[in-house]
C-alpha cells in the first residue's frame, strides 16, 4: 500500500457502495475495484495525466474507463450521498457553516463581454442569417471554412518564353 492509497477502514466504508466486481456476465472479470479506485485517486491527487499513472494501479485506460462509466451510471453521486448521509446521521456534518468566497473564483477572460439581455426572437432575424449549409457551400467552392474573404489572385506574371532581340542586322 502506497502513501495516499485507501486505508482498510476507508475501503470497508466504500466497498458496499460500489457495484459488484463480478457481474455474472461472460467475459473478462473486472480488475480489483480497490486498485482501480486508488489509481483514480492518485491521478486526482497529483493532477498528472492518466498515462503517467504508476503501473501498480493497473492499466491507465482501465482506471479512466471505470471512472467515466461510474460517472455516467451515477455511482459517484450515490457514493457521495451515502457517505454524506452516514456522516450526517453520526452528527459529523454542520450544514450551516458553509461559505463560498467568489473573489477566489476567476472568470474566463471572455466572460467580461457577455450579453446582459436575452436575444430577441424575431421572425425576420432568421432571414438575415446565413443558411445552415453556407460553410459547406463555401468549402465546395474551394474557399476556407474559417474565412469568408475572397482568395487573393496571384500577381500577373509574364509567360516564360525566350525574348526576341531586335538588332540592326535582324531588323530588316
pLDDT in tens, 107-118: 676 666 666 677
In a domain, 163, yes or no: no
| Positive or negative: CA dihedral 46, 50, 54, 60 | positive
In a domain, 115, yes or no: no
Residues found in the chain: 172
- Give the pTM: 0.54
The Cα 35–Cα 66 span in angstroms is 11
In a domain, 5, yes or no: no
In a domain, 45, yes or no: yes
In a domain, 65, yes or no: yes
The Cα 61–Cα 40 span in angstroms is 11
Residue 67 lies in domain: 35-91
Q: How many domains does the chain have?
A: 1
In a domain, 129, yes or no: no
Cβ atoms 29, 19 nearer than 8 A? no
In a domain, 75, yes or no: yes
In a domain, 68, yes or no: yes
DSSP 111-131: GGG--SSPPP--STHHHHSPP
Q: How confident is the model at residue 62 (pLDDT cuts 50, 70, 90)?
A: very high
Amino acid at each position: 500500500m502506497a502513501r495516499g492509497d485507501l486505508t482498510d477502514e476507508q475501503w470497508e466504508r466504500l466497498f458496499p457502495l460500489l457495484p459488484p466486481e463480478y457481474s455474472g456476465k461472460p467475459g473478462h472479470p473486472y480488475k480489483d475495484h480497490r486498485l482501480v479506485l486508488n489509481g483514480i485517486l492518485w491521478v486526482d491527487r497529483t493532477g498528472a495525466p492518466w498515462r503517467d499513472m504508476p503501473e501498480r494501479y493497473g492499466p491507465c485506460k482501465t482506471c479512466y474507463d471505470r471512472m467515466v462509466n461510474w460517472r455516467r451510471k451515477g455511482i459517484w453521486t450515490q457514493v457521495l450521498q451515502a457517505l454524506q448521509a452516514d456522516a450526517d446521521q453520526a452528527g459529523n456534518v454542520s450544514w450551516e457553516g458553509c461559505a463560498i468566497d467568489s473573489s477566489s473564483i476567476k472568470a474566463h477572460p471572455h466572460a467580461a463581454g457577455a450579453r446582459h439581455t436575452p436575444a430577441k426572437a424575431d421572425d425576420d432575424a432568421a432571414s438575415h442569417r446565413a443558411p445552415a449549409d453556407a460553410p459547406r457551400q463555401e468549402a465546395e467552392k474551394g474557399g476556407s471554412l474559417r474565412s469568408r474573404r475572397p482568395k487573393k489572385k496571384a500577381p500577373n506574371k509574364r509567360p516564360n518564353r525566350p525574348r526576341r532581340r531586335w538588332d540592326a542586322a535582324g531588323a530588316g
